[in-house]
Amino acid sequence: MVSKGRGIEWEYEPGKRGKRFWPDTRWRKYWQKKRTRCREKGIDFTLTREECLALTEELRSTHGVLHPSRDGMHLGRIDHSKGYVSGNVQWESYLWNVAKATRGPRK
């Protein structure tokens, strides 16, 4: 399979483990750390590798961001009482995520 994002073309094989699945090493490490932090904090993380790859491509193509960062865009939960599950995640700025987590979602 071939994916294009921000002028970068890369190949991956669905279901194949290793670096070839992700656009680069930084993305692979991002998802590994996200899963590890969730496990340590007792937060559900049930996103599949394919869902994570789709989110990766979304950030790269829609927002024009090559990599998430603490001060920039990163994956946040829409409802903080739920985990990182399908339908409850979105790319958002760090400041918005912190504000939402401390005061709750807007009504």
Tens-place pLDDT, residues 52-92:
989 988 888 887 777 887 778 888 888 888 999 999 999 98
Task: Collapse the DSSP code of 9 into the 3-class scheme (helix H, G, I; strand E, B; otherwise coil) and give the result.
Answer: strand
Task: Collapse the DSSP code of 41 into the 3-class scheme (helix H, G, I; strand E, B; otherwise coil) and give the result.
Answer: helix
Residue holding tokens 């491509």?
57
For 22-60, what is each residue's pLDDT tens digit? Answer: 788 888 899 999 999 999 999 999 999 889 989 988 888
- Phi/psi of residue 85, each to 5°? -120, 160
Question: Structure tokens of 5?
Answer: 């994002």
* pLDDT higher than threshold 90 for residue 99: no
Answer with the residue of higher pLDDT: 51 or 21.
Answer: 51
| Distance, CA of 26 to CA of 23 (rounded, Å) | 8
- Cβ neighbors of 51 (< 8 A, separation 6 or more) are 86
